[in-house]
Homo-oligomer: A and B are copies of this chain.
Amino acid sequence: MGIVVMKFGGTSVADAERIRAAARRAIATRKQGHQVVMVVSAMGHTTDELIALAKGITDNLPKREMDQLLATGEQVTISLVAMALEELGQPAISFTAGQIGMITDDVHTKARIKSIDVRRIHEQLEKGRIVIVAGFQGVTEDGAVTTLGRGGSNVTLVAVAAALKADMCENYTDVDGIFTADPRIVPNARKVDRMSYDEMLELASLGANVLHNRAVEFAKKYNVPIHVRSSLNTNKGTMIVAETETMERIVVSGAALKDKLARVSLRNVPDKPGAAARVFHTIATHNIVVDDIIQTLDESGKATIAFTVEMGDLDDAKRVIGRLCDELGCQAVFEDHLAKVSVVGVGMRVHTGVAERMFAALAKAGINIQNITTSEIKISVLINRDQAKEALRLVHDAFDLGQKPKKSPSKARAKKK
């Protein structure tokens, strides 16, 4: 008996049949005595189709008008979902972001939510209706339509759940939950029952594609538990929750692979203040997203600045960095055959030997590590792309991720790694 917010992504509302399935699911939850809010995305490929329409008009897409355009996708879905619920005998009402005062800043195409006025939602829930909210969109104080950027519908899910102080927040997708690794690559990958916000954040930025970081950050900030589960069955999925002490007993929660990486190295960069800043300012102004950064000094006092980028950004990087190196008098080297394998787990904070175990497994198979980056709860290695899938499987096995965690006894807190 509480408020449940359920989010259905684009594939879960792709056609009339799936919309009906989502509606039945919401009704089942309603019949358990809960008040139900649904957050829905645009149907299937609608957003792509709208973008194609705009590109038929101009190459230079004005952001305010793009938001006005794209927001129609979710508006179509909410009304169809409301109709499906009514058709099944369940009173329902749909709301655009504007209709529930989902106020954002005015940064079009990636706006941030400032506030939600939930009175109207509560009012309708009290009347026994299921409320359907358009995901991905907001409005400025002026009433201009905004969109929330990639993963925006999940941000809506968490924001609505937080504002309503919901008892449950469910993210319906086409997978069963979060896995210890991508099951398409690692056959014995296992669904994780519980995972902390921080682990999810690391995994998402390392290549796991289920929940976007902004939604998870929002959930962490407001301590909203997210249940990631399948819209195709009623199995329990993965609960993304605040970290608990028991979680630390599990050393590694998951492994991830980020494929298609390239490395850009600038050699003999003059070691002066501002050189690195100049490099990354140039990169940023060209909208090239940098993954990891490593800077080293050689004996002569010259620096090597290296960073990884997605393969899709490599051509841009070559052009920009080539020009920059001419100016700075340094040499650029580009490598386009790399991948990154990572392990993540809050247990690393209290367990030793994690890096060692990972490196040993790779060494045994003759996989050369080209670079290592770490955070408090993850270790990443850069390797050759043609060994990446094998490496992911090896690492997955090295930490026994295919088995239910043994829950190692809670030791005295030791320095990690």
Which of A's residues lie within 8 Å of B, judged by CB?
A: 15-16, 19-20, 50, 53-54, 56-58, 60-62, 64-66, 68-69, 71-72, 75-76, 78-80, 82-84, 86-87, 93-94, 96, 98-99, 143-145
For residue A69, which residues in chain B have a CB less than 8 angstroms away from its CB?
75-76, 79-80
In the complex, what residue of chain B is closest to A17 when comparing beta carbons? Answer: B56
Which one, B20, B62, B87, B93, contacts A86 given CB within 8 A?
B62
Q: Are A144 and B19 in contact (CB under 8 A)?
A: no
| Nearest-CB residue, chain B, relative to A72 | B72
For A15, the chain B residues whose CB sits under 8 A away are 56
Q: How many copies does the complex hold?
A: 2
CB-based nearest B residue for A58: B87
Among all A-B residue pairs, the 7 with the closest Cβ atoms: A69-B79, A72-B72, A58-B87, A16-B56, A68-B79, A65-B79, A65-B82
| Given A94-B68, A96-B68, A98-B98, A60-B87 contact (CB < 8 Å) | yes
Determine the chain B residues whose CB is within 8 A of the CB of A68 once the complex forms.
75, 78-79, 82, 94, 96
Residue of B nearest to A56 (CB): B16
- Decide: B53 and A65 in contact? CB cutoff 8 A: no
**When the two chains form their complex, are residues A76 and B57 in contact, meaning their CB atoms are under 8 A apart?**
no
Q: List 6 A-B contacts (CB under 8 A).
A: A16-B53, A60-B86, A62-B82, A65-B83, A68-B82, A72-B75
- Whether A57 lies near B80 (C-beta < 8 A) is yes
Starting from the known contacts A60-B86, A72-B75, A98-B98, 6 additional A-B residue pairs (CB-CB under 8 Å) come to: A20-B57, A58-B84, A62-B82, A65-B80, A69-B76, A98-B143
Bound-state Cα–Cα, A96 to B65, Å? 11
Q: Kindly provide the distance from the CB of A94 to the nearest chain B CB, expressed in whole angstroms.
A: 6
A70 to B390, CA, bound (A): 51
Q: What's the least CB distance linking A108 to chain B, in Å?
A: 12
A5 to B53, CA, bound (A): 25
Q: From residue A4, how far is it (CB to closest CB) to chain B in Å?
A: 22
**Which one of A57, A58, A145 has the highest number of Cβ atoms from chain B below 10 Å of its Cβ?**
A57
A86 to chain B: closest CB distance in Å? Answer: 5
Q: Which residues of B contact A87 (CB under 8 A)?
A: 57-58, 60
**A98 / chain B contacts, CB cutoff of 8 Å:** 98, 143
What is the bound-complex CA distance between A83 and B69, given in angstroms? Answer: 10
The answer on a CB contact under 8 Å between B54 and A66 is no
Q: Quick one: closest B residue to A88, CB to CB?
A: B58
CB distance from A36 to the nearest CB of B (A): 17
A24 shortest CB reach to chain B, Å:
13
- CB-CB under 8 A from A144, the residues of chain B are 99
Could you tell me the distance between the alpha carbons of A381 and B53 in the complex, rounded to whole angstroms? Answer: 49
Q: How far is the CA of A79 from the CA of B143 in the complex (A)?
A: 15
Residue of B nearest to A50 (CB): B76
